[in-house]
Structure 1
Amino acid sequence: MIQEVLAESFSSYKLASFLGSFLFADIHLPHHDIFLFGPGFFSILIPLAIWFIMMFLVSILFIFARVKSGSIFGAIACNSGYILGMSLFVYHFLLL
């Protein structure tokens, strides 16, 4: 896990969690269609920032689930629930 590697490098689990969450949010930016060229950069800046913050917080939630469960399976279960919830939301509210 990236948190353990970063924690060993920085001697701080909190800093490692912050950096890992930042990287997680950064990796998920393409899911927000950042590569589409719409009306302009500034029209997507606010939604993009909101998406980044939400992905950062979701990553913190996954870290919390892993730490509290004592196993990576806590984070896997949390991630599975998140994906299921997002899929149902997208299907129900956006596609119907």
Structure 2
Amino acid sequence: MLKANETGNYSLIGLVMFISALIPFIFLNKHGLKQIGIKKTRKLKILGYALIAGLAFSLLLYFLGIGLYGHSYENWYEYIGKSYNIPDGISAQGKKAMFVVMAITGMTFSPIGEELFFRGIVHGSFANSIGDKKASIVDSLAFALTHISHFGLVFLNNRWDFYLVPALIWVTSMFAVSILFFQVKKRAKSIWGAVLCHSGFNLGMIYCIFYLL
């Protein structure tokens, strides 16, 4: 992700997410997949709430960023949004089409890849020895720290910089939303609850970047 921020080429990110999604199916048998939450759920209402909860969290993060940093690049959504390369003179129809494409990819690749890895493999690796609660802290810390590559360590004006306070807020927010993903997974009794919550968050973030900034 850091290399992509520097070069503006994000083509490999989708491949990384795809590989992350494949890892559980390569290394785990049917019982192992079930143990980390890759299974069907009948709790359809919880899945609906998961999508809404993720969307709501992304909107709260938007208002926090605007309230603290306005439209500067210290606002996480402003910095992340520059990677979308939305043309300044784009028509309303063109913007809508671009939003739909970004929303579909954003709601698919990273939620599936990251949740199967963090809430699946990482969480499952620790849960048997330290319990679900502590394991959720471990996978959430890993998830949050990884997302410094999205914001915190920034590449602007052909040089790298680090926004300490905004980065701390962003990482704390990523930790909190990661805990939310786990709680939804737990209530849905399936990792697909976490995937849908993550999809809702990404949808909200992409909407904020396209239409609210």
**TM-score normalised by the shorter chain: which range applies?**
0.7 to 0.9
Q: RMSD in angstroms over aligned alpha carbons?
A: 1.4
Q: Determine which structure has the larger helix proportion and give its number.
A: 1
Counterpart residue number, 1:67: 186
CA distance in 1, matches of 2:170, 2:153: 11
Q: List aligned pairs for 1:32-51, cutoff 5 A.
A: 32-36=151-155, 37-38=160-161, 41=162, 44-51=163-170
The residue aligned with 2:78 is none
Q: What code does the residue aligned with 2:171 have? A: F
Match of 1:80 in 2: 199
Q: Which consecutive residues of structure 2, in runs of 5 or more, have no partner in the other structure? A: 1-119
Please identify runs of 4+ aligned residues in structure 1 that moved more than 2 A: 35-38
Letter of the structure 2 residue corresponding to residue 86 of structure 1:
M
SS of 2:153's equivalent in the other structure is coil
User: Which residue identity does 2:126 align to in structure 1?
Assistant: L
**Separation (CA, whole Å) in 2 of partners of 1:61 and 1:72:** 12
Q: Tell me the TM-score normalized by structure 1.
A: 0.85
Partner in structure 2 of residue 7 of structure 1: 127
The structure number with the bigger radius of gyration is 2
Which residue, 54, 58, 66 being the options, matches 2:173? 54
CA distances 1:27-53 after superposition (whole Å, capped 9, x unpaired): 111110504334xx4xx1100000000
Quote the residue 2:37 is aligned against: none
Q: Tell me, what secondary structure is at the counterpart of 1:32?
A: coil
Hey, what does 1:90 align to over in structure 2? 209
Q: Would you say how many aligned residue pairs link Structure 1 and Structure 2?
A: 89
User: How high is the sequence identity, in percent, across the aligned residues?
Assistant: 36
Q: Which runs of 5+ in 1 are unaligned?
A: none
Q: Write the distance in 1 (CA, Å) between the matches of 2:172 and 2:206.
A: 20
Partner Cα distance (1:62, 1:51) in 2 = 16
Residue 135 of structure 2 corresponds to which residue in structure 1? 16
Determine whether 1:26 maps to 2:145. yes
2:112 aligns with: none
